[in-house]
Chains A and B, each alone.
Chain A
Amino acid sequence: MAMSLVVKTTTMLVAPFLVTYGAYLALYGYASPGGGFQAGVILAVSAILLMTAYGPKQVKRHFSIGEVRFIEGFSGLFLTVLAFAGLVFGAFFLNFMRPYLPGGTVVLFNVGVALKVAAAFILTFYLLSRWVDRD
């Protein structure tokens, strides 16, 4: 499914900026427009663009399906632990980290959601790309 040289070069130039923008949206989503879901989708798009330009096999070699699955499960666990950690300090989803971090648990929650959404979308495309005939 590899495309022409123009598409490959453009994708290679655009993908790092997409990752930077996704990280920015996740980290500063508490203060500016943005948030976890949008950041996750942009992070996933950078990998999906590389998959469509270079073919899924080459992307899977550098970013294996096991790593994606680990990130997906770990971020889900992290969000659940973050939700129940507030219970120790008094209430479910209590923002207990506000004195130590600007935004408190909101930033951590956004980062966790971003990783979760990105890993889920990339995993969906990885699983679907096994059924593609040509590579």
Chain B
Amino acid sequence: MKRLLAVLTVGALLMTLLGLDYSKTVGGSYVYYVTHWRDVGVPNLVTAILADWRAYDSLGEVAILFAAITGFSLILEGKARWR
């Protein structure tokens, strides 16, 4: 029963993903990035997107890392019980 449910869920997800439209869209953020690339002053487009336009994302990633390390040391810090 559980296996059937898993197969059905994965199948539905697969059908949804296969039915999406993957054709290239004209306009939108892509055109903005390509035309305003020189404004950033960084010769690498990937870095320009990641560290300048979408630096919020990277800051959030850093916050996630900090939270993970805080929880990690909270749980595993202290004297080792089994040794």
Contact = CB atoms under 8 A, between A and B. Distances in A.
A31 B42 contact: yes
A4 B13 CA distance: 49
19 contacts: A29-B44, A30-B47, A30-B51, A33-B44, A36-B51, A72-B69, A83-B59, A93-B52, A95-B41, A103-B41, A106-B48, A109-B55, A110-B47, A116-B66, A117-B65, A123-B72, A123-B73, A127-B73, A131-B80
Interface residues of A, number: 34
Interface string A122-135: 01100110110100
A58 interface: no
Interface of A: 29-37, 72, 76, 79-80, 83, 93, 95, 98, 103-104, 106, 109-110, 112-113, 116-117, 120, 123-124, 127-128, 130-131, 133
Given A95-B52, A109-B58, A124-B72, A32 B44 contact: yes
Q: In the complex, which range does the number of interface residues on chain B fall in?
A: 20 to 34
B67 to A, nearest CB: 10
B8 interface: no
Contacts of A34: 47
A53 B72 CA distance: 24
A116 B62 contact: yes
B53 to A, nearest CB: 9
